[in-house]
Amino acid sequence: MSFFAKQTIVAQPGFNRWLVPPAALSVHLCIGQAYAFSVFNEPLSRAVGIGAATPEDWKLTTLGWIFSLAIVFLGLSAAVGGKWLEKVGPRLTMFVAACCFGGGFWVAALGVQLHEIGLLYLGYGVLGGIGLGLGYVSPVSTLIKWFPDRRGMATGMAIMGFGGGAMIGAPLAVWLMTHFKSATSVGVAETFMTMGSVYFLSMTIGALAIRIPPPDWRPPGWTPPAVRHKMITDKHVHIDQALKTPQFYLLWLVLCLNVTAGIGVLGQASVMIQEMFKGRVDAAAAAGFVGLLSLFNMVGRFFWSSASDYLGRKQTYFVFFAIGALLYGTVPTSGGAGNLPLFVVLYALIMSMYGGGFATIPAYLADIFGTMYVGGIHGRLLTAWSTAGVLGPVLVNYLREYQIGQGVAKGDAYNVTMYIMAGILVLGFIANLAIRPVHEKHHMKHDEFDELDGVYPADDH
């Protein structure tokens, strides 16, 4: 196991730090495929009947649990595995993620072949979800340590890959299913095997390429500013101690509320634009709208996280919540006026800030808690994503059904939802406003570092 040991991957003098982001991207571009899992649902619903669904085939409601399980186990594995990541380092964690994510596809392929839904739940839902969680957090703390001068930009590069993974994964899956389709197969099992192998290889290459900086490393020519921003600490908070601070729970709320407002609407984007602009937007145009939102989701991750290096993390979230609430409040007006271009622009901006929230939060955590345990703390904070992944769609779907049940036209059934989403962002604004620097009683002392490695990171002290 010495090959995977944390000490083995300490970079040698002269190592180019710009080799680390591609290693992170090789993981995030793979696990981002999760956003495109819906392309498998329709073929899986006729895995027995092939040409058309039969009574023995799985229903879409049954298949929907695969993605839900994956997101739940993403949050759980990130929360539980984050502390282990800080102990063993990113190489072993990324390799385990590759085994779980790639292996999850292979187990799911067996489930399709045997027509056992439990194997799909176990494969893609549980194993794949664990791979998602470990793969998501494993490069983050490493990037922050390599780029203390541009934390937001560094994490944005990797997390942008997660947002863009679906743009590669969706067409790849469709092409493979078409290639493998036959009179006796819808091509899903073969596609799972192929994609699992490709993703395992890509993620393993990333694990082999990753390096961590020496404890006393700094970018050439860079020194920490003499006068630091009060919201950026030069101390460190232990991962377990972070849970005892109000800042952790406020940041949990900040992420949860930002994601809740975006994820529910993202899941209903195609139906929503067709119902609000009935007769003007068909299914093909709605698919283009969804693709545009995905693009803004991806680009927003890099743009906003990079901007946060100059604006500050707290101020960037102020923008997300204040402008986001205004945008949501304007959506019903644009829909009622039949202003389709304005509607598209509003949602493109909303999705850019939704993605930006994911990419900015790791740097926000590093500013508040220091860099030593940021990967593990980030993992625990991602339970906010799992919560929002349930809360957002439930709010949008059930409010829509209630409105329609009350006799509201389908095109107007989203208006109340949009105002509620605006209210959710106002709550996020208040939570962000309450965030202050961590009290010094929570900071690690020098004797605690002696008990660990005898190392106090020089870039922060």
Residues 6 or more apart whose CB falls under 8 angstroms from that of 458 comprise: 215, 216, 217, 218
**Tens of pLDDT along 318-331?**
999 999 999 988 98
For residues 126 and 354, give the distance between their C-alpha atoms in angstroms, rounded to a whole number.
Answer: 26
* pLDDT above 50 (res 21): yes
* pLDDT above 90 (res 141): no
For residues 165 and 36, give the distance between their C-alpha atoms in angstroms, rounded to a whole number.
Answer: 8
Share the mean pLDDT of the chain: 87
Question: Nearest CA to 314 among 228, 147, 436?
Answer: 436
The pLDDT value recorded for residue 228 is: 65
Q: pLDDT higher for 260 or 122? A: 122
Confidence band of 449 (pLDDT split at 50, 70, 90): low
* pLDDT above 50 (res 417): yes
Give the pLDDT mean for 266-292.
Answer: 78
Site of tokens 């509320």: 257
Confidence band of 371 (pLDDT split at 50, 70, 90): confident
Most confident of 187-196, 216-225, 443-452: 187-196
Residues 6 or more apart whose CB falls under 8 angstroms from that of 221 comprise: none
The pLDDT value recorded for residue 277 is: 85
* pLDDT above 80 (res 27): yes
* pLDDT above 80 (res 360): yes
pTM of the model: 0.83
Give the pLDDT mean for 83-100.
Answer: 93
Q: Count of residues for the chain?
A: 461
The pLDDT value recorded for residue 461 is: 40
Q: Which residues pair with 182 in a beta bridge?
A: 185
Residues 6 or more apart whose CB falls under 8 angstroms from that of 43 comprise: 177, 186, 187, 188
The pLDDT value recorded for residue 289 is: 83
Q: Which of 31-45, 216-230, 299-313, 331-345 has the lowest mean pLDDT?
A: 216-230
* pLDDT above 80 (res 6): yes
Q: Which percentage of the chain shows pLDDT scores above 90? A: 45
Residues 6 or more apart whose CB falls under 8 angstroms from that of 351 comprise: 262, 266, 293, 294, 296, 297, 300
Q: Which percentage of the chain shows pLDDT scores above 70? A: 95
**Tens of pLDDT along 431-440?**
999 999 999 8
Give the pLDDT mean for 165-178.
Answer: 87
**Tens of pLDDT along 94-137?**
999 999 999 999 999 999 999 999 999 999 999 999 999 999 99
Give the pLDDT mean for 25-50.
Answer: 88
Kindly tell me the sign of the dihedral angle through the C-alpha atoms of 55, 57, 58, 60: negative
* pLDDT above 90 (res 65): no
The pLDDT value recorded for residue 459 is: 44
Confidence band of 456 (pLDDT split at 50, 70, 90): very low
The pLDDT value recorded for residue 455 is: 42
Q: pLDDT higher for 43 or 276? A: 43
The pLDDT value recorded for residue 262 is: 83
The pLDDT value recorded for residue 454 is: 40
**Tens of pLDDT along 293-350?**
888 988 999 999 999 999 999 999 999 999 999 998 898 888 778 888 998 999 899 9
Question: Nearest CA to 379 among 90, 10, 11?
Answer: 90
The pLDDT value recorded for residue 288 is: 81
Residues 6 or more apart whose CB falls under 8 angstroms from that of 374 comprise: 140, 141, 144, 362, 365, 366
Tell me which amino acid residue 80 is: V
For residues 205 and 265, give the distance between their C-alpha atoms in angstroms, rounded to a whole number.
Answer: 35
The pLDDT value recorded for residue 335 is: 77
